Amino acid sequence: MPSTAAGAESPRADTVQFRSCSRHPTMTAILDFLLAQRQGRWVATTLVTMLAAACISMEPGSSPEESVVLEVTVGPALVECVGVGPMQCLIVDGEFFYDSIEGFEYEEGYVYRIRMERYDAWPDLEEPPQDASAYGYRLVEVVSQTPAE
């Protein structure tokens, strides 16, 4: 591989433009190795494409887990808990749930099976405020509502 000035990229690295991954040393090294071994350009292209696919995001700062749908069980009663202060929490999958679920109308005395979307509550901030949840929750579907025993 021809030497380049400090901070300059090799010609091959210039041809691969996958956002932040284009300068990733591992990707450049793999591409150089495969081409040097004459394994065929299609192998190098396929491998680099697969590695880059893991790095490409829809928007800067987004992540693959930006929005996830979860199916959970909500217990039949609210319980006393302490978040930023004393409050009442839902029991979700056997644990305190300190947040609210948009669109979910909870009624005590029932066990719910619901699908909810967990999303980034602060998409424009690198870190959420210290006293706030990093996620927001939105009801997708009430799968079942059964009277508690």
Same structural domain, 91 and 135: yes
Q: What is the pLDDT of residues 21-74, one digit of tens each?
A: 445 566 666 666 666 666 555 555 555 555 555 444 444 444 445 789 999 999
Q: What is the pLDDT of residue 134?
A: 86
In sequence order, the 6+-apart residues with CB closer than 8 A to the CB of 41 are 35
Residue 58 in any domain: the answer is no
Same structural domain, 73 and 44: no
Same structural domain, 134 and 83: yes
Q: What is the pLDDT of residue 124?
A: 84
Same structural domain, 90 and 137: yes
Provide the number of structural domains found in the chain: 2
The boundaries of the domain holding residue 138 are: 67-147
pTM: predicted TM-score of the whole model, two decimal places:
0.54
Residue 6 in any domain: the answer is no
Cβ proximity of 48 and 30 under 8 Å: yes
**pLDDT tier at 103, thresholds 50, 70, 90:** very high
The continuous run of DSSP H or E covering 120 comes out as: strand 110-120
Residue 25 in any domain: the answer is yes
